[in-house]
């Protein structure tokens, strides 16, 4: 079975009713659509609020752009010295190899530049310039392969890029950001895994997953193949209204990741990508949800809740915070710290009696 790439195909698959076809054609004319067979398998099509469908099936609400939303919500363009490179932080760069993905997430922060209407991948000349940029800067310790989704590339092409990076002495880490293990797990072959393992360097794979159901048996097996080959895995998730914005779903997601040897790394607050306000929570809601994980779940299950500051200023952790200055003037040099049950304590505490 092939991916579904048009609203008509979604209607034929009974994922959306015929009367929504015209509205969804308008959305698809603006933002790419694709659902893989593995995604279709985990959608409960009898549930109109299905959290998997909500991530991939277009919605007419996407045609409403709010004033604060922007085409480049995390400010990649401001930090792109050469095509394909985003150099925002001193010791690492993004290397955007492709502009396509097996699926198109409705909340994607790069929804304007990604899609089949764009050039599929970086040209050979542009890739050579991007590698030259990395070679010339000894401060670049880590290269993050992203896109689009880099694991749509063939193992041969991936091996070329990863080998070229491994040959650069100051590059010690190659990190791959991908959704492929959950949306197209059959692509995770032994050949592809060998291709992304940087000789003599550390390769990490960061999986994008937002709901526990995404960790299907095939997805779990794909992740196990990566980890068993000696590549550690981390995860990143996006906090999404109607998908994972309740404590039990978020807890189940984090636990499922850890049970599969994937360390939760980031929980992203939804970016201000155009037409995504119906999928964003407030920061206060996000902090409440993260607080619900603290104390209740193992420390292994705790991602950092982060916001990519619009304008390209990078990510910052956004709480919740537990530490403040003590309220009483008598304690002005002390802190007040809250425990996971809501109890408050002064730090340092009163001197111990001897
Ligand atoms: S897989 Fe990643 S890059 Fe592709 S649409 Fe989804 S969030 Fe965007």
Res 248 pLDDT > 80: yes
Sequence-ordered list of residues with C-beta below 8 angstroms from that of 307, at least 6 positions apart, any chain: 268, 269, 283, 315, 316, 318
| Catalytic option among 108, 149, 175, 266 | 108
**CA angle at 210 for the pair 205 and 216, rounded to the nearest 5°:** 75
For residue 354, what pLDDT is reported? 74
Q: How far apart are the CA of 110 and the centre of ligand 1, in A?
A: 7
For residue 207, give the H/E element and its range. strand 202-208
Residue 120 has pLDDT above 90, yes or no: no
Among 211, 261, 203, residue whose Cα is nearest residue 241: 211
**Judging by beta carbons within 10 Å of its beta carbon (0-12, 13-18, 19+), is residue 290 exposed, middle or buried?**
buried
Residues 6+ apart with CB under 8 A from 254: 264, 293, 297, 301, 302, 303
pLDDT at residue 328 in the model:
84
177 lines ligand 1 (CB under 6 A): no
CA distances from residue 137 to 80, 93, 202 in whole angstroms, order as listed? 15, 11, 19
Q: Please report, to the nearest 10 degrees, the dihedral formed by the alpha carbons of residues 63, 69, 71, 74 taken in order.
A: -140
Task: Give the distance (Å) from ligand 1 centre to CA of residue 349.
Answer: 48
For 60-94, write each residue's pLDDT tens digit.
Answer: 999 999 999 999 999 999 999 999 999 999 999 99
Q: Is the dihedral angle over the CA atoms 59, 176, 143, 133 positive or is it negative?
A: negative
State whether the beta carbon of 148 lies less than 6 angstroms from ligand 1: yes
Could you please report the per-residue DSSP string of 311-341? TT--EEE-----EEE-SSGGGTT-EEEE-TT
Reply yes or no on whether 108 is catalytic: yes
- The 10s digit of each residue's pLDDT in 222-240 is 999 999 999 999 999 999 9
105 lines ligand 1 (CB under 6 A): yes
pLDDT of 331 strictly over 90: no
pLDDT at 334 over 90: yes
């Amino acid at each position: 079975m092939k991916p579904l790439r048009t609203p008509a195909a979604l209607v034929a698959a009974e994922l959306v009713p015929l009367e929504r076809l015209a509205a969804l054609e308008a959305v698809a004319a603006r933002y790419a659509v694709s659902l893989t067979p593995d995604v279709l398998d985990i959608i409960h099509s009898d549930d109109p609020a299905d959290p998997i469908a909500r991530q991939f099936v277009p919605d007419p609400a996407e045609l409403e752009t709010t004033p604060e939303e922007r085409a480049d919500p995390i400010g990649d363009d401001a930090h792109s010295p050469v095509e394909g490179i985003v150099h925002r932080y001193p010791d690492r760069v993004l290397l955007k190899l492709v502009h396509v993905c097996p699926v198109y997430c409705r909340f994607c922060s790069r929804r304007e530049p990604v899609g089949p209407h764009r050039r599929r991948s970086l040209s050979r000349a542009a890739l050579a310039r991007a590698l030259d940029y990395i070679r010339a800067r000894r401060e670049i310790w880590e290269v993050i392969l992203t896109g689009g989704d880099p694991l749509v590339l063939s193992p041969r092409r991936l091996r070329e890029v990863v080998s070229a990076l491994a040959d650069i002495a100051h590059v010690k880490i190659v990190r791959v950001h991908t959704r492929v293990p959950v949306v197209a797990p059959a692509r995770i072959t032994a050949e592809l895994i060998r291709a992304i393992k940087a000789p003599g360097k550390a390769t990490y794979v960061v999986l994008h997953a937002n709901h526990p159901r995404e960790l299907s048996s095939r997805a779990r097996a794909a992740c196990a193949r990566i980890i068993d080959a000696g590549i550690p895995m981390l995860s990143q998730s996006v906090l999404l209204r109607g998908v994972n914005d309740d404590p039990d779903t978020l807890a189940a997601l984090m636990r499922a990741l850890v049970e599969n040897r994937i360390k939760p790394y980031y929980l992203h607050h939804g970016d201000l990508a155009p037409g995504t306000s119906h999928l964003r929570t407030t920061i206060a809601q996000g902090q409440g949800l993260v607080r619900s994980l603290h104390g209740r779940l193992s420390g292994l299950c705790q991602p950092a809740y982060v916001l990519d500051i619009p304008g390209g200023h990078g990510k910052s952790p956004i709480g919740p915070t537990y530490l403040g200055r003590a309220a009483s003037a008598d304690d002005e040099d002390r802190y007040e710290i809250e425990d996971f049950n809501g109890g408050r304590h002064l730090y340092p505490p009163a001197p111990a009696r001897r």
